[in-house]
Amino acid sequence: SKALQRLQLENDLRKAITQQQLMLYYQPKVNVLSGAVVGMEALLRWQHPQQGFISPAQFIPVAEESGLINEIGDWVLRQAVLQQRLWLSLGYQIVPVAVNMSARQFNQKDLVEKFVGIVREIGVPMNFIQLELTESMLMDIGVNSLEMMNRLNEAGFDLSLDDFGTGYSSLSRLKMLPMKSLKIDQSFVRDIATDENDKIIVNATAVLAHAMEMKVIAEGVETQVQLDFIRDSQCEEYQGYLFSRPVSAEEAVKFLQLKGELN
């Protein structure tokens, strides 16, 4: 039955946290004009011992319902910061790494203290960690969460609005949020070459974000035509298969430069 499968998945997920079955993959964020890697997004992967790769779309909802998301969220942040620490110790220039947040994590009273504690303990500058929140998530969260976002921002974390255009957040609400950047969802980028509506949406989103002093990142860029369009739309950065799919930490090191190296 469905309920039984869900319970099994939840139990397996508990084990996955302690048995090192979770891992982070990294997808570069690229400057539209220079082609330089200016950041990365850390993406969670679960390698199940029997079922193989399980997609986050399958297990994150289970993690949220069961409350395991808080433990997983802490693990993701810690892992991303440890990875940066390692890259630094190997002599690389690090770039900001973004981790995805879930609405459920904002229910934790001690979220800000805990996150600040993790980053300080490992010893990476705060501004090298970005927190990505989806637009649809912002509709679920209340006044307390807004206060928490402000506190995270004041603590030195850069906040980014993910999947923009897929939720229905009001512009007045958007204006209240301490966001540094906004990501245009890949569903609008996909058909940009042929779909007039998508062109209008991408252009308008870029204008809107810039008016609110946010930079714009386009997701899901797979072709040169799409890249040319988002460049003309004044988007600053992009992610997508045109440059690289998400890769393991071992592979991601090729996106970094050694200290003292010139571009």
Q: What percent of the chain has pLDDT over 70?
A: 96
Residue 157 lies in a domain: yes
**pLDDT tens, position by position, 179-234:** 999 999 999 999 999 999 999 999 999 999 999 999 999 999 999 999 999 999 99
Q: Torsion angle of alpha carbons 34, 39, 41, 42, nearest 10°?
A: 140
Residue 17 lies in a domain: no
Residue 240 lies in a domain: yes
* Cα atoms in the Cβ-side hemisphere of radius 13 Å centred on 253: 15
Residue 225 lies in a domain: yes
DSSP secondary structure code for residue 247 in this structure: E
How confident is the model over 93-122, as a mean pLDDT? 94
Within the chain, residue ranges assigned H as helices are 2-18, 56-66, 69-89, 111-122, 135-140, 143-155, 171-176, 186-189, 196-211, 224-232, 249-252
pLDDT value at position 176? 82
Nearest C-alpha neighbor of 158 from the set 212, 72, 99, 88: 99
Q: State the pLDDT confidence band at 172, using cuts at 50, 70 and 90.
A: confident
DSSP secondary structure code for residue 240 in this structure: B
Residue of higher predicted confidence among 234 and 137: 234
Print the domain residue range for 183: 27-41+91-258
Return d(Cα 146, Cα 31) in angstroms, integer.
Answer: 30
Q: What does pTM read for this prediction? A: 0.93
How confident is the model over 9-36, as a mean pLDDT? 95
Q: Provide the b/e sequence for 100-129 (b: ≥16 CB within 10 Å).
A: bbbbbbbebeebbeebbebbeebebeeebb
**H or E element, residue 183:** strand 179-184
Residue 204 lies in a domain: yes
What is the bridge-based pairing of β-strands 257-258 and 22-31? unpaired
Number of domains in the chain: 1
Q: State the pLDDT confidence band at 168, using cuts at 50, 70 and 90.
A: low
Please state, as a whole number, how many other Cβ atoms lie within 10 Å of the Cβ of residue 197: 9
Residue 140 lies in a domain: yes
**pLDDT tens, position by position, 41-74:** 999 999 999 999 998 989 999 999 999 999 999 9
CATH number for the domain harbouring residue 163: 3.20.20.450
How confident is the model over 92-116, as a mean pLDDT? 93
Residue 48 lies in a domain: no
Nearest C-alpha neighbor of 200 from the set 227, 165, 168, 169: 165
Residue 115 lies in a domain: yes
Return d(Cα 77, Cα 73) in angstroms, integer.
Answer: 6
